[in-house]
A = this chain, B = another copy of it.
């Protein structure tokens, strides 16, 4: 019994063994398949036969995910810790909506919960060489979160004030700017250079101000980029330099360095 549990643990939780790798790849395929099912199901124009097939497929996938979920609980030593972990909750959310749909009917909110399944792919990726890269990016974002907050708040102030100004300028001549929130929405669409075109200024002054917002948006996109980049540059600068010369105790040696560049002493 114990050996079966051990074997399953290796397959489900570990990734180094061939069986574990196979399991991970299978799981990714099933997850992506279940996302495709969610998407296709939402299309009303498809013939009912396809829709029926999607429902059947959804139940099969939910069945497999349910088995996987209970296996994960059974074979782990501390199930409580798994159940309340981030991925434990995501795993539960991956199967709950289908069962809930039986009881309370297929409400719309359940579809979003089903789309969350995509996050499960991260569990598999988590265990590979992507961890380091992801954590470098995450750290860079984390350590620049204050700067980014300040930036986002300034952006918010700009779009609120510019939106109000444009409301006053355009409102009498343009149905698109029918209220301030609508004008602020337009200002966001413009500042971020998305530019749908469903709302666009028609007065000369409005166009002049719009041009001003565009160039502002074009220039200040430099700020978040600068924040993240300088963070990443600093991080990558610090990384190689963790080796210390045993003789002069200076840091900053390259990966491939064999001798201290300051005193010429061999590095370990």
Which residues of A come within 8 Å of B, CB atoms? 35, 38-40, 42-45, 108-109, 111-112, 115-116, 118-119, 121-122, 125, 129-130, 132-134, 136-137, 140-141, 146-153, 155-157, 160-161, 164-165, 167-168, 178-182, 184-185, 188-198, 200, 204, 207-208, 210-211, 214-215, 217-219, 221-237, 250-266
Contact = CB atoms under 8 A, between A and B. Distances in A.
Given A42-B179, A232-B226, A232-B227, A194 B188 contact: no
B160 A115 contact: yes
Given A194-B195, A258-B261, A260-B261, 17 more contacts: A43-B181, A111-B180, A112-B168, A118-B156, A130-B149, A134-B150, A185-B207, A185-B210, A190-B194, A192-B214, A195-B196, A229-B230, A233-B234, A256-B262, A259-B262, A259-B263, A261-B261
B217 A227 contact: no
Copies in the complex: 4
Contacts of A233: 229-230, 233-234
